[in-house]
Structure 1
């Protein structure tokens, strides 16, 4: 059986999925027959920051109670194969034992968590297309199983782009507030150790609308979704100089609304990193512009031109701003209209920047 045929089997199953979580489940079942594994974690990621977001599928790792420790190690410790590096690697897939010369103890993640869980090897992959990460997966083999080999890594690498493309098709457009949830910002405060210390009622309401997934207990009398915890951890990582990215994700509620979640580390005494404040609120069209453009399959140049159209620039003004000919601008606009299923600039603004219909899967 050739590898392309193996890919086709898995992708055909993914094409029958009704949503991202279903896509993860179908893909995992098909992949397990070709690359055996004992447990797995599949997660959607924010395509701009690479941070995990909803939904997440955890298979054969209990109730996911170790997720908090897993992502704390991922973002705040020196590790082998962090997802942030894999997202930029020539091949966005790697095995822990292969990368460490069969010495997985070189990884803090392995020493502090995986070894205790009985994990012998981990294969990690970032699902990316167009340079943007739309998902991540960790496959685990327990003690007694062979390490992931070159063939396993190559097979999963061949699925990275096609699966990412399918994930981004599920990204929906901005949906104006319809009164289903609070429109006010929710606020959570975490101390310098990452423990939640206070929350307002708007945040409770927003969090209650999120889909099911792994959670972390808190002293606030409620469990906090791992996506929120990951965003806070990223803010701490940035404050500690471990990353220069943004601590922000976009995620969908159970009823299809989009929320924006962002965290920032405050300064403590003597300039030391202090508490982290997290804001969760309804996403605006601007928050979702890139996601919606990607869901329609626009190239970076096409999105740039669409954005300038939304700002009210004429064809000649866009051409001058981008140092290209008006003919080239019109060609890009024609491509945008075709991909988005529209026929005018007004429809473009409405579809990509102020709401519209979900792109076809």
Structure 2
């Protein structure tokens, strides 16, 4: 059973964070006192797709280039405890040795990467609200350390929801958000082996705006963040039939723009595998509205009401469209106003839709 005092101290450290990266750093430092580990990877995830996005904190785990191998294995190989399964599991936390009967080499990720780096056990968690993932964490113990036990799994499971709520808050709008970036989409092309082979100038401009984090070198003379590499790997996983999800993330830039990055695999002559295209562009208004609604914790029905308000429908017409009473609509609208800290329909429309490049 998790000690309440220990749980409260960890969340108190997280509460003092001013951004997601600081949240990861504070939580990791405090958690290590109660649950020793040698290395860690903390990352935000896109709540729609579960793919990694900025920021990411890597502690004491080899080179930054190893991150690309880690996520390549995660997305393209059959593995024990993939994050996409943990996001839907009854308990969103699991230990590698516990899950494999103390035989971690059953995992392709362990055979290909972790074992060679001296890792003896990995404890993974998805930081989620419902089945919506806002972050993930991997904690590692090197050889000679004990396996992660039930009490440690329970502690991290208890932290999953509260930490996800804190991560979600950092996706909310702020008054300092910057203006639009390059007007045209950025485009990157990768060959069938996943190597970057061409890029346009717009993509270079967007890359310069992305926050620092693990990256991998390319023949183009620039380093690509692991979040973009992960998105292209997901596109390949979908093309190979290993996944049916979406190769899409939203990411916030240094000047606080929201960008949407999406990848797809193209086909060549005779249906042969072609390049993978990655498009980077300012988040469109509809996509931005989804981000903001998720950040404030609106339910699907509350978001429906908000969308109909944005179309200018009065309460009676919204009630008719949703097959509910006007009283129910007013209740949903009151809940939306309370969650978003606003008091009028005009503020709601402005918050959700009026700033297509900002959030």
TM-score interval (norm. to shorter): over 0.9
Give CA-to-partner distance per residue, 1:152-200, whole Å, 9 cap, x none. 1010000000000000001033999966631221100001111100000
Contact 1:261 1:278 in 2 (8 A): yes
Q: Distance in 2 between matches of 1:327 and 1:179?
A: 39
Q: Distance in 1 between matches of 2:171 and 2:183?
A: 21
Q: Distance in 2 between matches of 1:73 and 1:222?
A: 23
- Counterpart of 1:61 in structure 2 is 61
Contact 1:173 1:352 in 2 (8 A): no
Q: Distance in 2 between matches of 1:135 and 1:324?
A: 35
- Counterpart of 2:218 in structure 1 is 218
Indicate how the Cα distance of structure 1 residues 35 and 224 shifts in structure 2: closer, same or farther if over 3 A, else same.
same
TM-score (norm 1): 0.95
- Counterpart of 2:83 in structure 1 is 83
Any stretches of 5+ residues in structure 2 without a counterpart? none
Give CA-to-partner distance per residue, 1:265-294, whole Å, 9 cap, x none. 112343343211000111122222222112
Q: Distance in 1 between matches of 2:288 and 2:173?
A: 7
- Counterpart of 1:97 in structure 2 is 97
Q: Distance in 2 between matches of 1:264 and 1:175?
A: 34
Q: Distance in 1 between matches of 2:138 and 2:82?
A: 11
- Counterpart of 1:346 in structure 2 is 346
- Counterpart of 1:243 in structure 2 is 243
- Counterpart of 1:270 in structure 2 is 270
Contact 2:239 2:265 in 1 (8 A): yes
- Counterpart of 1:332 in structure 2 is 332
* 1:1-361 superposed matches below 5 A: 3-173=3-173, 181-355=181-355
Q: How many residues in Structure 1 have an aligned counterpart in Structure 2? A: 358
Contact 1:39 1:60 in 2 (8 A): yes
Contact 1:236 1:273 in 2 (8 A): no
Contact 1:292 1:352 in 2 (8 A): yes
Shift of 1:340: 1.4
Q: Distance in 1 between matches of 2:2 and 2:79?
A: 34
Contact 1:174 1:284 in 2 (8 A): no
SS in 1 for 2:184: coil
Shift of 1:206: 0.4
Further displaced range: 234-243 or 285-294: 285-294
Q: Distance in 2 between matches of 1:130 and 1:107?
A: 27
Further displaced range: 66-75 or 318-327: 318-327
Q: Distance in 1 between matches of 2:72 and 2:175?
A: 33
Q: Distance in 2 between matches of 1:161 and 1:95?
A: 18
Q: Distance in 1 between matches of 2:313 and 2:247?
A: 32
Q: Distance in 2 between matches of 1:84 and 1:272?
A: 29
TM-score (norm 2): 0.95
Q: Give the root-mean-square deviation of aligned CA atoms.
A: 2.0
Contact 1:174 1:258 in 2 (8 A): no
Contact 1:265 1:276 in 2 (8 A): yes
Contact 1:191 1:276 in 2 (8 A): yes
Further displaced range: 181-190 or 168-177: 168-177
